[in-house]
Structure formats: C-alpha cells, structure tokens
C-alpha cells in the first residue's frame, strides 16, 4: 500500500524488465535491466514539482546504483509538474545492480527524502512517514 507523505502518495519497488523483483526472485548478477522505482501520486488540487532521494542504508556492499551522479549508494531525480488528483503516478527510477559483495537477505533500499515545490513557493521537505524502506534479497 502506498505511503502518504504530506501531499503525496509514495511507494517504491524494484523491477527487472516488466516484473517486480519479488515475483521473480532476488536481485542477482544475471539481471540486466533491474531498476529501483519510486511512484509518486499528487493528492492535492494543484500540480507540484517533486525531488526524490533514495539510498542504500548499508552502503553499496551488495547492490549499487551504477549510473547515479550521487555515487553507487544513492540516487535522486526530479519530476516537474506532477499532475493533480486522479492522475496516474509519476515514476522516478534508477538502474540498480548486484555487485560483487557478499550475499545478503532483506537488503534495505530507503526512500530518504522527498522535496515538493508548488509554483513559485519555496521547496518544502516532507517528513510524514519518511524515511521508509523496502528490502530485497541480494544473492
């Protein structure tokens, strides 16, 4: 179930191709298209701009975000003008891969921060139900 964070519904998952990792097994070195995704739904009456920051709380010991400008252990993305009420969720995503570290069960991925901006107003850091985590197996 999505988590309510202030003015947004937010959820997170890991996909490999077209299926959630939980349906096809753990993240492993054979996966070529795994992506960490954050789904953002605006539940207000006005469009908003959103920045999402995600991290690996244990660091990039078992998994990493190979294309992130923030380094292997974190990523961030922005989506402009998330539509208001009843619009489909906007998806922000980053490649994730299994690296050469030791195997681990329930490896955490954490949605660490969400920032929201409406029109010309200043950025607002959301705090309700944040940070939150999902966990996947890295084998």
Q: Quick one: pLDDT at residue 2?
A: 66
Q: Quick one: pLDDT at residue 100?
A: 81
Interatomic CA distance for residues 84 and 133, integer angstroms:
26
Residue 115: count of CB within 10 angstroms of its CB = 15
| Residue 64 β-bridge partners | 97
Which CATH number does the domain housing residue 9 bear? Answer: 2.60.40.10
* pLDDT greater than 90 at residue 79: yes
* pLDDT greater than 90 at residue 85: no
Average pLDDT along the chain: 88
**For 16-44, how does the pLDDT look when each residue is reduced to its tens digit (9 = 90+)?**
876 666 655 566 666 668 899 999 999 99
Tell me which of 51 and 31 has the higher pLDDT: 51
Quote the domain boundaries for residue 27.
3-138
Q: How many structural domains comprise the chain?
A: 1
Reference 15, options 31, 3, 30; nearest CA is 31
Provide mean pLDDT across the span 121-138: 90
């Amino acid at each position: 179930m999505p988590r309510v964070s202030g003015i947004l519904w937010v959820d997170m998952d890991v996909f490999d191709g077209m299926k959630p990792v939980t349906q096809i097994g753990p993240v492993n070195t054979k996966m070529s298209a795994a992506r960490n995704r954050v789904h953002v739904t605006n539940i207000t009456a006005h469009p908003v701009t959103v920045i999402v920051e995600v991290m690996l709380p244990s660091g990039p010991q078992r998994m990493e975000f190979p294309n992130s400008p923030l380094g292997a252990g974190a990523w961030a993305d922005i989506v402009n003008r998330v539509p208001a009420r009843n619009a489909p969720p906007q998806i922000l995503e980053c490649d994730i891969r299994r690296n050469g570290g030791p195997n681990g069960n329930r490896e955490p991925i954490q949605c660490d921060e969400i920032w929201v901006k409406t029109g010309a107003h200043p950025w607002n850091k959301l705090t309700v139900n944040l940070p939150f985590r999902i966990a996947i197996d890295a084998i």
